Chain A
Amino acid sequence: MAELAAVVGVGQTKYQTKRSDVSIAGLVREAAVNALKDAELTWDDIDAVIVGKAPDMFEGIIMPEAYLTDALGCNGKPMLRVHTAGSVGGSTAIVAASYVQSGMFKRILTVAFEKQSESNAMWALSNPQPFSPHLNAGAGGYFAPIIREYMRRSNAPYNAGIRVATKDRLHGALNPLAHLKLGEITEEQVEHSGMLWDPIRMLESCPSSDGACAMIIANEELAEQSPKKPAWIRGTAMRSEPTMFAEREEVNPLAGRQCAADVYQQAGITNPRKEIDCAEIYVPFSWYEPMWLENLGFAEEGEGWKLTMDNVTSLIDGGDTPWNPSGGVLSSNPIGASGMIRFAEAAQQVRGECGDHQVPGAKTAMGHAYGGGAQFYAMWIVSSDKS
């Protein structure tokens, strides 16, 4: 049986297009130091360090964790580097939790980062190799046809994506760390922001950011001694399936459904819409909110967009299940860290540490990340209660 584990410290950097004031080590360090401060701990209190980031080509350093060991106070300790594509921030948090849940470590530090401004995201994600597919229009080009198919099947109104894009930016304006601060944004602006990959508009897409996110995870005994409220990890799950195979369900992937069922079962959740107070879900393109509402069982298939249109997911409009109160991936997107930010923000909600974007009374929250061709999933449920 897994040992109980909890998040006792969270640290993030400010997210922005280019953090020109720091080195890569400096960026990662900032998040780690903030997490230590939050938990009122020092480097000596950490037993192992687990690092996550997306492809090494973003920064052009092979296995950069080797270079980061000095910045992360890791010398003489165990270090591990996770890479599971876009879901990596979430997977890294889950692997980090397993260090403690296994009973083999008492307290660990986990950090995920991306310094995207060192290169160009579209290049780093799809640098051309000979004899490989010739048309690669980046993540937007890949996901746009899947979104189109969702729109066809669900008969969703054309502006459901616009609603999400606006809502998440209004949320982001409440988060001092968010990259995009668009407190005055309107649905008209989103609608007229120009099609990039029809049906995806520019303002329906995520930005490219520099940033890092860190967490300290401790066992039950140490978590109970922690000065601030811990976020108890009630369930963790990962699932993978191939990028493409005959009759693959791409709109509502089975891997996502199974991953959600697994994590709910661990956390004793039977009705996510009712029992989960808020969620930080990986939505890099706005239409993925209604799609994931269905995939994650918050709505029946074909009806996710109704929750969006009814403002159920809006913190500002008082919805009962706010999604991405931090502003989400649509407001800040350092790719390798984006998943961990979702997991960390979920923890901050149940710790009551979210300030202006706090969901009142949040007790149970979900963190979610996906990657590759919507084929790698990582999810966790955190709660203010142990059981």
Chain B
Amino acid sequence: MRDIAVVAYAQNPIVRDAGANNEVELIMPVVNEVLKEAGLKDIHDVDFTCSGSCDYLQGAAFAFVAGVDALGAVPPIKESHVEMDAAWALYESILKINMGAAESALIYGFAKSSPGKLAQVLSQQLDPYYYSPLWPDVVSLNAMQARSAMEAGVLTEEDMAEVVSRSRANAKSNDKAQLSGDYSVEQLLEEPEYIAPLRKHDCPPVSDGASAMIICTVEKAKEWGLPYAVIKAMDHRIETHNFGARDLTVSESTAIAAEAVGVNSAKVDVAEIHAPFSHQEIILKKALGLGDDTVVNPSGGPLAGNVMMAAGLDRIGEVARRIINGEAKRGVAHATSGPCLQHNMVTVLEAE
């Protein structure tokens, strides 16, 4: 694939309950912010728009149709939507640019998870004959994965607490984060178990929010006179839905994608990992082949704020932002979808 420039990224403050802000009212601020950041007048200054959302989070069909109301899409625009995390909307946009059908694109992802009971809602993502009638909430499923990894010697509960401690501490410098603060490993381990072996802090918060990004060809970024980070490579892979048939202590699809994009062909300064549960960060770090010289989730990651359908795009945005700021030269972003890390995407970004 050709080099793609990330020129703008914006995120709403991540909150537990956006209350009387509907989807349109969540999306408009971030869309306007990225347009402004890129010095563009309106949506017609980009060639393509693509979004990611999920109807069941708020419990209404066609959530994304309301999203279009936030864009100012008159005259009409070239637009598409994935019922997935917006990281995959970014992927669709990159295909469009690679085929020469667009030079620039605006991507956004949003969710209002607060109206529903997210852990229950997501149980209905499972096999409809064998699994979902048992209402296995996502916390229980991921707790089984955590136990597998612990009993296989892949990680310990101290390791998990360390992930949470670092996430909350890192999030102190992220003014959009929902959860932040200083918590020692000992302090965290004193907390009672929630759905064993997970403690509440091993699980992501339920979040409302929206994020947006503008990408373009490198030539276009230069023409616009904007600083940018370059997406060098991107790949995503899915695994069997039957998690009994998967080794839950590893992430095979992440490893395939990491290999395909050449994560370790050079030093990785920073990585943002879409690990909603603490143990998954450890599994994913291994699958990505990252060493201890890589700073992981400096934003705090999903444990500090987890807007469904935007959290994957956020990882890419957070890495791009650090590269544009000069904090890092090369970074890796990971996004996930589906129960227990079924589907994974890996993106490599570099400084121009």
Interface centre among B54, B91, B98 (most CB of A within 10 A): B98
For A81, give its contact among B59, B71, B82, B126 (CB under 8 Å): B82
| Distance between Cα atoms of A83 and B53 in the complex (Å) | 10
Is B253 in the interface zone, CB < 8 Å from A?
Answer: yes
Is A60 in the interface zone, CB < 8 Å from B?
Answer: yes
Is B121 in the interface zone, CB < 8 Å from A?
Answer: yes
For A95, give its contact among B80, B129, B132 (CB under 8 Å): B80
| Distance between Cα atoms of A99 and B83 in the complex (Å) | 18
The answer to whether A126 touches B61, judged by C-beta atoms less than 8 angstroms apart, is: yes
> Which residues does chain B contribute within 8 Å of A57, judged by CB atoms?
55-56, 61
A123 and chain B: residue at smallest CB distance: B61
> Which residues does chain B contribute within 8 Å of A126, judged by CB atoms?
61
> Which residues does chain A contribute within 8 Å of B101, judged by CB atoms?
2, 98, 101, 236
Known: A66-B342, A83-B81. A102 touches B121 (CB 8 A): no
| CB within 8 Å of A: which B46-92 residues | 49, 54-56, 59-62, 64-65, 68-69, 71, 73-84, 88, 91-92
A interface majority secondary structure: loop
The answer to whether A61 touches B237, judged by C-beta atoms less than 8 angstroms apart, is: no
For A61, give its contact among B65, B125, B235, B337 (CB under 8 Å): B125
Is A227 in the interface zone, CB < 8 Å from B?
Answer: no
> Which residues does chain A contribute within 8 Å of B95, judged by CB atoms?
95, 98-99, 101-102, 104
The answer to whether A242 touches B68, judged by C-beta atoms less than 8 angstroms apart, is: yes
> Which residues does chain B contribute within 8 Å of A376, judged by CB atoms?
79
The answer to whether B240 touches A75, judged by C-beta atoms less than 8 angstroms apart, is: yes
Is A69 in the interface zone, CB < 8 Å from B?
Answer: yes
The answer to whether B61 touches A80, judged by C-beta atoms less than 8 angstroms apart, is: no
Is A76 in the interface zone, CB < 8 Å from B?
Answer: yes
Interface centre among B83, B338, B339 (most CB of A within 10 A): B83
| Distance between Cα atoms of A124 and B126 in the complex (Å) | 19
| Contact pattern, A 240-261, Cβ under 8 Å of B = 1, otherwise 0 | 1111010010000011001100
Is B96 in the interface zone, CB < 8 Å from A?
Answer: yes
Binding site for A on B (CB under 8 A): 1, 49, 54-56, 59-62, 64-65, 68-69, 71, 73-84, 88, 91-92, 94-96, 98-101, 121-122, 124-129, 132, 235-242, 252-253, 256, 337-339, 342-343
| 9 CB < 8 A contacts A-B | A55-B55, A66-B241, A70-B240, A70-B241, A80-B82, A83-B64, A238-B78, A245-B74, A254-B75
Extra A-B contacts (8), CB below 8 Å, given A62-B54, A240-B49: A2-B99, A66-B125, A76-B256, A80-B82, A82-B80, A82-B92, A239-B77, A258-B76
